[in-house]
Structure 1
C-alpha cells in the first residue's frame, strides 16, 4: 500500500502537462480586413454605438450633416477649425466659432488625424484647432474626415502621425472608439459619462 507521500508524488506526476507549444511569432497579430477600409471602419464603430456616414461627395456630406444637426440650435453647433468653417459657410450650415467658456456647446464639429478601420477608432490630437476640448466637452462630437485619412491598423496610424510631426509629437494623442460610456455604477451602461454621449463620423 502506497504511503501518503507516494500518493502525493503520484498525483503531482500525473498532473504535469506536456511541454507547452511555442507561440508562432511570425503569425499576424491582427485579423485581416476583408472589406474596404471604409466599410470595416463603419461596422466596427457602429458596433460600439457610433454613427458613420460614408459619403460620395461634398453635397452628400452636407445633406448628412444637416440631418445630424437638425435638432441642434445653430448657436450651439461650434467649430474651431478654419478649413471646416469654410466648408460649413460655403454650404450654408449655420454654426459659430469656438470661444472658450463663453457659451454652451451642444455639438462640436472637428476634423481628426486618422481613422483606424480595424477598431473603428478616431485618432485626434491636441494639434488640431480647438485643442483637447472640442472632442471631449460637447455632448455630441461630429467628425468630418477625408477618405485618405483611413488606415488599416493602429500601428499604421502611429507611423503616419510620427511622419506628420517629425520634430515633435503633439502633447496629446487620443483614440476615440465610440461615445463615452461606463458601467461602473451598478453595472448599468451609461452613455456620455465622461465625454460625448454621441459620436458621428462623416467621411467623404
Structure 2
C-alpha cells in the first residue's frame, strides 16, 4: 500500500541526509556512527551508567560523587591492581580482595562500541569469574580503549601481550538486573556498573 501511494505521488519519498544535510541515495550505505557515540548509545541501552571525565581531577570528583550517591564512602573495595588503588588512597576506602566488598574497582581491556560491552580478562579479575565478584562495579577506562568489535579487541590483546596472553577473557554487557534478557545476553551476569571514561586523545 505504501509503495502504491508513493508510485501515485500520494505519499512523498522521504529524503535521507547525512549530518551536513547532503542527500544520500537510497542504495548508498548509511554513514556509520562514530565509535564513541555508538558505544555510549549501546552501553546506556544495556543499562550502564556513564560519566565522561576530561581530566584526572574530574575523574576523582565523579568517583567521589558515586561513593556519596551509594553510601560507599567508608566501605571495603575489591581491587586487584595496586596502581588503581593508589590513585584513591586519599579516600576512606579499604582496598582488599574480599569478595563481600561493596564494589569491584578496576580498569578494563577495551570498550566494544557495536555491543556496548566492556572487555575484561584475568588482568583485571585474576582467576575469579564475573559471577564471583561483587554486584557493583566501577570501571575506569580511557577514550583510546574504544574499539568497534570484540574481534578487534582480541586481536589487540594478542598483539599487546605477545606470548603472555591473559586468560579468562570475557565481556560485561548486562548492567541492569531488571532488564529483559535476550538470546545474546543469555548466561551473562548482570552488574550494577559505573563507567568513568577519561579523555586521553
Superposed pair shares fold, TM > 0.5:
yes
Contact in 2 for aligned 1:98/1:130 (Cα 8 Å)? no
Cα pair distance change 1:196/1:87, threshold 3 Å: farther
Alignment match, 2:18: none
**Does residue 94 in structure 1 map to residue 88 in structure 2?**
no
Instruction: Show CA shifts across 1:68-109 (max 9, x none).
Output: 1111142233322111112112xx2332222346xx311110
1:26-105 equivalence runs, <5 A: 33-35=32-34, 37-70=35-68, 71-89=71-89, 92-100=90-98, 104-105=100-101
Instruction: Show CA shifts across 1:24-57 (max 9, x none).
Output: xxxxxxx86413x333212111101111111111
1:120-159 equivalence runs, <5 A: 120-128=116-124, 130-132=126-128, 136-159=132-155
Contact in 1 for aligned 2:42/2:116 (Cα 8 Å)? yes
Q: Tell me how far apart the structure 2 counterparts of residues 38 and 168 of structure 1 sit (CA, whole Å).
A: 29
Q: Which sections of structure 2, spanning at least 5 residues, go unmatched?
A: 1-29, 182-186
Q: For the aligned residues, what is the CA RMSD?
A: 2.8
Deviates more, 1:150-159 or 1:193-202: 193-202
Contact in 2 for aligned 1:109/1:134 (Cα 8 Å)? no
> Counterpart of 2:62 in 1: which secondary structure?
helix
Q: Tell me how far apart the structure 2 counterparts of residues 67 and 42 of structure 1 sit (CA, whole Å).
A: 20
Q: Give the TM-score taking structure 1 as reference length.
A: 0.68
Larger Rg: 1
Shift of 1:158: 1.1
2:106 to 90, 110, 134: 110
> Counterpart of 1:128 in 2: which secondary structure?
helix
Q: Tell me how far apart the structure 1 counterparts of residues 147 and 128 of structure 2 sit (CA, whole Å).
A: 22
Contact in 1 for aligned 2:174/2:190 (Cα 8 Å)? no
Q: Give the TM-score taking structure 2 as reference length.
A: 0.69
